[in-house]
Amino acid sequence: MNTQTSNNHQAPRGDHPERFSSVGFIVAAIGSSVGLGNMWKFPYITGEYGGGAFFLLFIVSLILIGLPILLAEMTIGRGGRGDSATAMFNLTGSKYWRLFGLMSVLCAFVIMSYYTVVAGWTLHYTVESFAGVLFRGGDDFRGKFETFAGSYWPVLWQVVVMAGCAWIIAKGVSGGIERFNKILMPGFLLILLLLMVRSLTLPGAGEGVQFFLWPDFGKLSAESVLVALGHAFFSLSLGMGCMLTYGSYVSRKQSLGVATVAVGIGDLLYAFIAGLVIFPTVFSYGLEPGEGVGLAFMALPAAFAQMPFGSLFGGLFFLLLAIAAVTSAVSIIEVPVAYAMNNWKWSRKKAAYVLSAVCLLFGIPAALSVGGVFGGFQPGGKTLFDWYDFTAAYVLMPLGGLVVSLFTGYAWKRAKEEAGLSGFWNGVWMFLMKLVSPILIVLVFLYSVGII
Ligand code: PFF
C-alpha cells in the first residue's frame, strides 16, 4: 500500500477544469451555509438559550471552530482538487485518508435524504399559502400540518426538490450551481428584508425582538456552549465535504481567507435577520414561539392568517425557506456527485441523475415516517427521519470535522502555503486546528450522543 506522506506526495497543479468565478464561489458558499438551520433553528435556539448572550456565544463559536474548519475544508479541496476522498488521497497518497473522506460522502448522502423532505414541505406551503388554500377551513394549523405530513404529498414534493437539484447540478459548476445561486440569493435577501420591515412594524414587535436578543447571561450554561458550537458547525455546512468540494472549484488566485470571512459574515447576517422576521411576528399575534417544525409550519401560519395580505406574506416567507433549503440541498448532493465523477469516471449528468434517484429511494421512507405509513416504525424511539438527522448531524458531521482538523493540523504539511495565511495568522490557525477544534468537537460529539 502507498503510505507516502504529504511531504513527498505530488499535489495536483493548476485549477480544476470546472470552476466558479470569484464572486460566484462566495455566493454559492453562502447559499450552501444559509439554509433551514439559519431560518428556523438559529432563531429558536437563540431565544431559548440566552438571547443576545447566546448570540455572542455563537459568534465566538464561529470564530473558534467554524471559520478555521471552513478555511481548512476550502484549502484541502483546492489543494487536492476533488471531493474529500479524492483530495485527501491526492494530498497524502494514503488510502486511509481516502477512507475518511468517503465517510463525509456518505454523510452527505444521509443528510440529503432527509433535508429534501423538509425542503419539500416548504415548497408545498409556499404554493398553498400564495393560493390562499392554507388559510381556508379553520385555523388548526397543527392539525393541517399533521394531515399533510402524514399523507403521500410530501413524497411528491420531495421528488420535485430532488429533480430540481439534479437538474441544476447536471448543468455544471458555473452554468448550474453558480448561475442558480446568483439568481436566487439576491432575491432571497430582498424578500428577507421586506419581511423584516413588515415584521418589525407590527404592533408589539418589540416583545419578539426582546425575546430573541435580550442578553440573558443567567440562561447561559455548558449546554448553551455546546449547542452554539454544534450549530456553528451545521450552519456553515461543515464536516461532510461540502465546502471542501466547492473549494475544489476555486481558482488558485482566490484568497481563501477573504472567502472564509465573507461566508461567516453572510451566514451570521442571514440568521440574525431571520430572527427579526420570525419573533416579532409570533409575539405580535400572541403565539407561542414553538420549536423547529412547530414554529415554521404551525405557529407562523396562524400569524399570517390574521395579517392583512397574510397569504402574500406567508407565501413569501415559505418561498424564503424553500430558496434557503434548495441552495443548501444543491451543495449537499454535489458531494457524492463529485465523488462519482472523480472515482468512477461518471459523467456529471449521469452522476447527478443516478445519485439523486438513489438518494430519493433512501429519502422516501424518511418522508413517510413523519406521521405517514412508516410513522409507527420507530427503532430506539426515533422515526427514520430522526435517525437520519441524528446519524448525520450528530455523529458523522462532528467526526468529519475532526478528520478535517487533524488532517490539516498534522497530516498535510503544506496547508499553510495553500491557505496563503501570513505567519501570525497561520500560527493561530494551526493552534486552532491542532488543539482547540479537536477538543471542542469531541466535547460536542460526546454531548450530542448523550455521553456527557
Ligand atoms: N448549512 C445548512 C443549514 O444551515 O441549513 C445545512 C447544510 C447544508 C449542512 C449543506 C451541510 C451541508 F453540506
- Whole-number Å distance, alpha carbon 401 to ligand 1 midpoint, is 14
Residue minimizing CA distance to atom 7 of ligand 1: 237
Question: Are 369 and 383 contacting, i.e. CB atoms less than 8 angstroms apart?
Answer: yes
Residues 335, 86 contacting (CB under 8 angstroms): no
Residue of 452, 447, 419, 439 lying closest to 76 (CA atoms): 419
CA 32 to ligand 1 center in whole angstroms? 6
Rounded mean pLDDT, 432-440: 96
Ligand 1 pocket member 328 (CB < 6 A)? yes
pTM score, whole prediction: 0.93
What span, in angstroms and rounded, lies between the C-alpha atoms of 440 and 382? Answer: 27
Residue 355: strand, helix, or coil: helix
CA 279 to chain centre: 22
pLDDT digit string, tens, across residues 1-38: 344 444 446 667 778 888 999 999 999 999 999 999 99
- Ligand 1 binding pocket includes 33 (Cβ within 6 Å): yes
Per-residue pLDDT of 126-178, as tens digits, reads 999 999 999 998 889 999 999 999 999 999 999 999 999 999 999 999 999 99
Which CATH number does 3-448 carry? 1.10.4160.10
More confident residue, 292 or 86: 86
The neighbour count for residue 261, using CB atoms within 10 Å, is 15
CB 32 within 8 Å of CB 262: no
Cβ atoms of residues 108 and 329 within 8 Å: no
Mean pLDDT of 65-78: 97
CB 418 within 8 A of CB 79: yes
Return all residues near 10 (Cβ < 8 A) that are at least 6 apart. Answer: none
Residue with cell 418561498: 319
Q: Kindly give the distance from the C-alpha atom of residue 320 to the centroid of ligand 1, in angstroms, as a whole number.
A: 15
Pocket perturbation via mutation, ligand 1, pick of 39, 40, 111 by most ligand atoms within 8 A of CB:
111
Q: How far is the CA of 165 from the centre of ligand 1 (A)?
A: 15
The answer to whether 250 and 78 have CB atoms below 8 angstroms apart is yes
Q: Which residue's CA lies nearest to atom 12 of ligand 1?
A: 237
Which residues make Cβ contacts (< 8 Å) with residue 111, sequence separation at least 6?
Answer: 240, 332, 388, 392, 393
The pLDDT of 320-328, averaged and rounded, is 95
CA distance 296 to 292: 7
Ligand 1: does its nearest atom lie under 6 Å from the Cβ of 38? Answer: yes
- The CB density around residue 162, as the number of other CB atoms within 10 Å, is 25
Q: Is the CB of 437 under 6 A from ligand 1?
A: no
CB 214 within 8 A of CB 51: yes
Å from CA of 139 to ligand 1 middle = 32
Of ligand 1's atoms, which has the minimum distance to the CA of residue 36?
Answer: 5
Any idea of the CA torsion for 339, 342, 347, 349, to the nearest 10 degrees? 30
The pLDDT value recorded for residue 358 is: 96
- What residue segments make up the domains of the chain, in order of their start? 3-448
Quote the DSSP letter at residue 3: -
The minimum-distance atom of ligand 1 relative to the CA of 38 is 4
Q: Is the pLDDT of residue 451 over 80?
A: yes
Mean pLDDT throughout 265-272?
94
- Looking from the CA of residue 33, the nearest atom of ligand 1 is 1
Residue 322 has pLDDT above 50, yes or no: yes
Q: What is the pLDDT of residue 8?
A: 42
Is the CB of residue 362 less than 8 Å from the CB of residue 109?
Answer: yes
Mean of the pLDDT values across residues 103-112? 92
Of 40-44, 115-119, 210-214, 236-240, which gets the smallest average pLDDT?
40-44
Q: What percent of the chain has pLDDT over 70?
A: 97
